[in-house]
Structure 1
Amino acid sequence: MQHDRIQLFVESNRDRLEQLTTRQRDCLRLVAKGYLTKEIAGMLGISESRVYKHVLAACRLLGVPNRGEAGRVFAEWEAQTTLSAGGPSMGAHFLDLPNPADLAFPDPVSNDTDGPIILEAMPAQQGEAHPVGSARPTVLDLVPLRLGRRTSNDLTASRTLIVIAAVTAGIIVTVGSAVSLLSGLSSLLRP
């Protein structure tokens, strides 16, 4: 029954959904998959407070009471949009996200999404078990690429050092292999 209510909401609020920014869509897509704010921040390479602001702004724009509802609405809209664009779709897949009062945003809230954020107003995330599983870093997380058409640089000081160390190690191994190969060939050519 809830799915029918979400479909009806999406049908009547398409204009609002189309007004979401790219970053708000990225955040809501991950919210719909069940990720916590801290995990979303790590995946998108932005601060937790920035994720909170994007989700909060999206909730206000859509007129929904909490992030779980915003994620479900966005997932349904994205599934319908993909299907209507002729792309393959398996339909919207919803997690049974909790709807506790601590996930609801406090009222009243400022409409200034770029202003300072009061960290005490953010929902607490005290080491709760993640329903889907924790995000595990991969080798691709170390690659210094700009992802998602962001203008900011993804290289932090630690990533820069890791990349420099990996490139240096690769050069040393390559030079060592070349010297070994050349010395082996020269010993074969000597009478």
Structure 2
Amino acid sequence: MTPERFALLTRRHRECLRGVKALKGSKEIAAELGLGKSTVDSYLTEAVRLLGARNRRDAAIALADFEAHENDQVPEIEAEPAPHKIIPDSAGLVSEPTPMPLPMAPDGSTVGGAVQGGHVHASPRLSLPVRRQGQARNDMTMAERLLWIPTIAVALAIGFGMLATGLDVMTRVIGRLSHLG
């Protein structure tokens, strides 16, 4: 791998690859860097692609070797600063926004949609047969509850039918394979 390929890596790519080199999983790296697991996975996938490595482990080892070799050489003139040195990481520079109070109905249930991460997201009203987060109780009408009974029964029948069909197919495949052998 050429030095030009390593120059394509951002600070986050390098941090994630260093975590892989330290035998940490994506969840551990995410917790350490204050990122989501899927974000770490994205950084690692992109780093593997940029370096042309086979997998994240090979990319991490290549980066460690490159950085060890790079630290052995003493540069005479400081090159242009990397983008992460020009623009500081904004994490920690802005205070966390204060969460908006949740709109509540008189019965204590949330109004206006689903609650996620302390925020109410508008969504079409779909009454589920379970109590949602932030609700004091399930607010379904008797008619809605009665409509869920056949819906659940049909879903279970379809699921068991698919299971029985799958088992039947597997039995036939195993039977034919045993006749061949």
User: What range describes the TM-score normalised by the shorter chain of this pair?
Assistant: 0.3 to 0.5
Structure of greater Rg: 2
Q: Which has the higher contact order (CA 8 A, sep 6+)?
A: 1
Q: What TM-score do the two structures reach when normalised by structure 1?
A: 0.41
- What TM-score do you get using the length of structure 2 for normalisation? 0.43
